[in-house]
Structure 1
């Protein structure tokens, strides 16, 4: 049995009422749709505000956390008040310290050249993860190591910071029951992939400085070969739900 023209035949108003009624009555549905509802609401508020106000120098949002760079603290405070005036929400502010500000798991530092990023870990972080001696499929343990390595390579903009984060990750993993051999194998595999991408002239998204750092790694393998790397002009190597820049 097949429904003819289902998508175009569904009564829109009735379906919306059914969804709203189900969500209102079912706590499970509320929790499942919470992120979708919240993000949609924030997106509409942002559109409304940035159609009226001049956009900050940089604005990124992921769900309920926003990273904003403006010309002054007064401009940021004005933006906060505008958001509250145009919504039912309350917003708090955290200013940068020494030109650095954590955003999610990224520490963003503002320099004369642009943004510099590295992995951010809270002071209370105990570096606990799935134990290397856990009774679980080997692919889960391997995935745990890869997650640490992948975060170092994706979040750190300079090779110096990448190296420091890989050392910190290796220490954390070894303290959680993984062998140094296992960790170094995954690190080598990830770096070799970066080298291969660069030598093959694969397009890698990121900032010019990160591309130069990774290009140097590629040249250390094939010093005789010049490497041309394309990059995206946006300087923060992270994916956000909302992005506004002028």
Structure 2
């Protein structure tokens, strides 16, 4: 429950402070303890805002990074170019790209899903096609070096890159599924279970 409690506490703290402060950020987003803001009142006012926010509670201390052209937030770099925002992938220097080894005892669809989900994430984050293709090329090289099957890597990256980025940014209601899942410990010898289930329950 720690993240939930932290979210509730921070939501109350920031609401009390922002409601009482005369200058407001143009944009204010928070994910647990990481905050992204767009500030339009000048650098001196930003430093004063940071100082006042930092002293608003006696046990909460903030650190601040600011820039007038690019900033990192979570796994995204947000840049200003030609008066509009662009986004690109950000990786921390400590990122070791430790994906599941292909020799691990997992079903094959797990490895396909890992490649596909990462490529989908890159496609969603990178707003410019040239940057996206460059990042996907590095991702392809990473999985190839890990000894993933090249045909799987190529197919899943191509599949993800063909999805319209605008569709990825839209969240719709989830489709209700009435079926009852059967969860078992993975073993290659249990592949016949799917056939048996289909024979007794064709629907």
TM more than 0.5: yes
1:204 shift after superposition: 5.8
Q: Does 1:68 align with 2:32?
A: no
For residue 131 of structure 1, give the secondary structure of its aligned residue in structure 2: coil
Higher relative contact order (CA 8 A, sep 6+): 1
Give the alignment's Cα RMSD to 1 decimal: 2.1
Whole-angstrom CA distance in 2 between matches of 1:77 and 1:38: 25
1:105 Cα deviation (Å)? 0.6
Q: Distance in 1 between matches of 2:168 and 2:139?
A: 23
Residue 197 of structure 2 corresponds to none
Shift of 1:149: 0.4
1:183 maps to 153
How far, CA to CA, are the matches of 1:193 and 1:112 in structure 2?
26
Aligned ranges 1:1-246 → 2 under 5 Å? 33-53=1-21, 54-71=23-40, 72-87=42-57, 88-96=59-67, 99-194=69-164, 205=169
Q: Which runs of 5+ in 2 are unaligned?
A: 171-203
Deviations for 1:135-160, whole angstroms, at most 9, x for unmatched residues?
21222212210222011111000111
TM-score under structure 1 length normalisation: 0.62
- In structure 1, C-alpha distance between the alignment counterparts of 2:104 and 2:168, rounded to whole Å: 35
Q: Is the 8 A contact 1:45 1:83 kept in 2?
A: no
Query: 1-side partners of 2:47 and 2:140: how far apart?
Result: 41
> Equivalent residue for 1:240?
none
**Hey, what's the Cα distance between the residues in 1 that align with 2:61 and 2:47?**
13
Structure 1: give runs of 5+ residues left out of the alignment. 1-32, 207-246
Aligned residues: 167
TM-score where L is the length of structure 2: 0.74
Greater CA drift, 34-43 or 184-193: 184-193
